[in-house]
Amino acid sequence: MYSIIRKRHVFHQLSNLPEDPGTVSKPNRKKLDTDQNENQIFSNDDWKPTKEWVASWRKKLPLQTIMRLLQVLVPQVEKICIDKNLTDESEIITFLQNGTLVGLLPVPHPILMRKYQPNAATSVWFRRYMWGFSVSQEHLTSDMV
């Protein structure tokens, strides 16, 4: 958590990143040497991010939880640093270790129980697993005798 607090500007930038593909920069791709000859590993230089691509990976980031954590903890850590005139990280880390975020973070999704529905793929897997187990047990018992 301490690292997240220290690097909070990165999370704020990610949170405020627009979905406009023009704002997402393309990484630098270098030509890499291989054993036999020099081939370019990344051959698709025409790739450009789309709005859908940015939205797809952005929605997978747990930014809501991290931003809530920052919203709660940053003022508390800053207050402790000012009140106690702290310059040492160890007391801040101790505070974070002893604190709790119960009730502050979003409630996780409930665990859904699903009834097993047999199908051809799972039947084949189970049959192969049981035969493999039986054969391996037979080898173990025959080696012991």
Average pLDDT, stretch 12-30? 67
How do residues 26-71 score in pLDDT, each as one tens digit?
A: 555 554 444 444 444 555 567 777 888 878 887 888 788 888 888 8
What's the CA gap between 21 and 25, in Å, rounded?
8
Query: Would you say 14 and 4 are in contact if contact means Cβ atoms under 8 Å apart?
Result: no
pLDDT at 98: 86
How do residues 131-144 score in pLDDT, each as one tens digit?
A: 999 998 887 777 66
pLDDT at 33: 45
How do residues 72-108 score in pLDDT, each as one tens digit?
A: 888 888 888 888 887 778 888 888 888 877 777 777 7
pLDDT at 35: 46
The SS3 assignment for 33 reads strand
Query: Would you say 15 and 50 are in contact if contact means Cβ atoms under 8 Å apart?
Result: no
Q: What one-character DSSP code corresponds to residue 21?
A: G
